[in-house]
Structures are given as C-alpha cells and as structure tokens.
C-alpha cells in the first residue's frame, strides 16, 4: 500500500486530493459499519467481502465467543453487517467484527424503542439482588426491582422461575457511552392493562350483569375489578338502604355481582351498581307500608323544617317528620324534641310512591284518628 493510501486509511491529514483517492478505492474507516457478504470460512477466521480492495476478516478470537445461532447467520453467501475495527493489522488485513456491528445496530434499536415506547420481548439471562438481567439483541440490559411486575416482585417463586423466559418490557434509559440500558416490565404491564381495559370496555353494554371482586374501599364508594377492568360502585349505588360507609356492607376481596350503569369510553370509566340487582322497595311499597302504620325509626338528620328518620326494618327507608308533626306543642327547632341516633315510634301519614317519599309523625302516634285501626290491629295480634 502506498504511503498516501496508508495515510488516508490511518486517518492522517494529507493532500486534499487524497480524499478523492480514498473514495475511489472505497477504503474502510475505523468505526464504520458496512454491509458485506460472507465469502469464505477458514480455520480461525471468516472472510467478508465489504466492497473494498481487501476483504474484511472476522478474527478467530471473536469466533470462539459466538453461539451456534450466530454462526448460522454467517454462512457463506449470507449478507451481514460488520464493524470496521482496524483498517490494517500486522498482517495487512482489514479487521471487522460482526458482534460490534450487531451491537451498534442494537444500540440504535434501543434508542428507537426509547423514543417510540414500543413493547419489546426480552429474554431473561440472569438475576441479582438488584433485579433481572435481560437481552436486547446482543446487548445486556437491566430491569431493576422497582421496575419488575408488581405480581412478580411480591412473589419470590415467580421471580426465581423467570430465568431463561421472555418478559414484556419497555426501554426507559439508554446511555451508549456508559453501556447503560435500563428496561421496565412494569411500564409494559401498565400498557397491557390499558389495552385490555379498552378492549373490555368496548365489549360492555349498559345493563350487563358481571361478576367482580372488591379491590378497594373509599369513603365515596367501592372499587370492583370485573375481569381486568376497575369500576366504581358509588356509595349511593351500594344498596337501597342507607349506607354510611362501604365498609359497613363490603370487604376487600369479596366476590360480588354488579350491574353496569354507564360506560365512559373516552375517559375509560365504568360506573357499577349493587342495588340495581335488588328489588327496589319503592316498587313494592304498597305491599309493606300504608297510612296509619306504626313503626320504630332512628333519627338520622335534623333540619329547620323537620327531622329525617330511617325505618327500623328490612328496607330501612327514610322518611320526613315535619316540624309540625313532632309534637302537639309548638316547636322552634326539631332538636328541642329529638336528637340524631334517637329511636322513636312514628306513624306513617303519607306514602308517595311516585315521589319516593314517606311522611312520618310522632304527634299522631297517639291520635283519635287512628284509634279504631290501632285497636283492630291489637286485637288481631292478641288472637
């Protein structure tokens, strides 16, 4: 090789015309990745036609580290990418590397996956106290414990069984200079859940009855998982009876049947109901309640115009005792007569099925108007 060509190959600055000479000879450059064709296998090397004056040589040292799958890719006649390690070694050969080229391509792929946030199936090759070791092509990546699936991170047996299996991951950090590649199983799992959620929501219809499991209780309602989708049973939809807190009638882990009230596809929200699967007491109220009936009730709320009381029976309907029905005497405020949580005897004086209202009275518990009905009922009971 002439001194001028050697200078170009070695990267030295020479005459400006040497650049044209290098282009004409298609001289390789250190760090360049080229497409080539496998042309020959030797005892300790593989020759690659890289379109230059000399073939590229994959050294025997690299061949010793290759697995069988990689060797198959380097069969004679196959097109491969190689990385130029040295433009001329001590024997005058252009030294190339298949592994480094694959690594460069894999770093490019890792950066593309980071930008796109597409899910990648990674093979687990090992683990340590900090997390899982995985492969992305020829690269070794790391899934920290904080990024392992919650299901797996809480189950040591599951974590131990994952070696040599593939897991769904997302690339969350790429630092080529430091050789740092961090992936997350949890991020991929979250996307899978969202996709499954959208798929299930698309199949649901209002009025569907589903089986589910209570997964969380809040002051305003209960969250129920129905086959991978989380829905809310609002406090007002837990029961026809008055419920102060979801924990009064439900517990986490309990299996329940729920009625689909509404589906918000855009916001991916699901409204559920328990009480819609029970008989609405207002539709059968005539069978259980009538004007003049005496019942026990618990005072639930006081207002300036009266007191609300919940009937102490199976349906626990709530009615209003108007301030004028609290006592025979004038009442300035209901608190002068009753207090919240107090148990009182009341008489039903109005049943409005359409308005879903009950009118109650304490004043008329003892009333000439209902004497005959009370005596008749007393006689029936004694008989």
Domain boundary among 190, 212, 244: 190
Kindly report whether the global pTM for this prediction surpasses the value 0.75.
no
- pLDDT tens for 256-268 read 999 999 988 878 7
Both 162 and 235 in one domain: the answer is no
pLDDT of 67 > 50? The answer is yes
Give the separation between CA 269 and CA 247, rounded to whole angstroms.
22
Q: Are residues 154 and 240 in the same domain?
A: no
112 within domain boundaries: no
User: Which pLDDT score, from 0 to 100, does residue 16 have?
Assistant: 58
Each residue's pLDDT tens digit, 77-108: 999 999 999 988 888 889 999 989 988 899 99
pLDDT tens digits, residue range 339-367? 999 999 999 999 998 898 999 999 999 87
pLDDT at 148: 92
Q: How many CA atoms lie within 13 A of 69 on its CB side?
A: 3
Domain range enclosing 167: 117-190
**pLDDT greater than 70 at residue 4:** no
pLDDT in tens, 201-249: 888 889 999 999 999 999 999 999 998 788 999 999 999 877 889 999 9
Please tell me the predicted confidence (pLDDT) of residue 90. 82
**Does residue 94 share a domain with residue 135?**
no
pLDDT in tens, 161-172: 676 788 999 999
- The CATH number of the domain where 64 resides is what? 2.40.50.140
Q: Do 64 and 25 belong to one domain?
A: yes
The per-residue pLDDT for 17 is 53
Number of domains within the chain: 4
For 232-266, b/e burial (b = at least 16 CB within 10 A) is bbebebbbbbbbeebeeebeeeeebebbbbebeee
Asked if 133 and 54 sit in the same domain, the reply is: no
Residue 272 near residue 259, CB atoms below 8 Å: yes
């Amino acid at each position: 090789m002439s001194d001028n060509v050697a200078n170009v190959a070695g990267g030295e600055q020479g005459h400006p015309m040497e650049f044209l000479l290098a282009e004409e000879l298609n001289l390789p450059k250190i760090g360049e990745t080229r497409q080539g064709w496998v042309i020959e296998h030797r005892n300790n090397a593989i020759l690659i036609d890289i379109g230059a004056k000399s073939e590229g040589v994959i050294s025997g040292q690299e061949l010793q580290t290759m697995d069988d799958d990689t060797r198959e890719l380097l069969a004679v006649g196959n097109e491969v990418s190689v990385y130029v390690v040295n433009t001329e070694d001590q024997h005058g050969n252009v030294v190339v590397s298949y592994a480094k080229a694959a690594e460069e391509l894999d770093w490019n792929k890792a950066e593309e996956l980071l930008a796109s946030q597409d899910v990648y199936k990674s093979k687990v090759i090992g683990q340590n106290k900090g997390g899982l070791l995985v492969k992305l092509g020829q690269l070794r990546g790391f899934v920290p414990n904080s990024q392992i699936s919650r299901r797996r991170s809480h189950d040591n047996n599951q974590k131990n069984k994952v070696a040599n299996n593939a897991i769904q991951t997302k690339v969350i950090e790429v630092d080529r200079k430091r050789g740092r590649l961090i992936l997350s199983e949890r991020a991929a799992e979250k996307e899978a859940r969202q996709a499954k959620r959208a798929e299930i929501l698309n199949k649901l219809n209002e009025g569907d009855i589903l089986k589910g499991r209570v997964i969380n209780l809040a002051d305003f309602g209960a969250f129920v998982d129905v086959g991978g989708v989380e829905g809310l049973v609002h406090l007002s939809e837990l029961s026809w009876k008055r419920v102060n807190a979801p924990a009064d009638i439900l517990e986490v882990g309990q299996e329940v049947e729920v009625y689909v009230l509404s589906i918000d596809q855009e916001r991916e929200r699901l409204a559920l109901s328990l009480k819609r699967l029970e008989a609405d007491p207002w539709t059968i109220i005539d069978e259980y309640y009538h004007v003049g009936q005496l019942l026990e009730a618990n005072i639930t709320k006081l207002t300036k115009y009266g007191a609300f009381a919940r009937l102490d029976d199976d349906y626990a309907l709530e009615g209003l005792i108007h301030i004028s029905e609290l006592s025979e005497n004038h009442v300035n405020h209901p608190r002068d007569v009753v207090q919240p949580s107090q148990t009182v005897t009341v008489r039903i004086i109005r049943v409005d099925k359409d308005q879903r209202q009950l009118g109650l009275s304490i004043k008329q518990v003892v009333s000439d108007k209902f004497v005959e009905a009370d005596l008749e009922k007393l006689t029936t009971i004694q008989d």
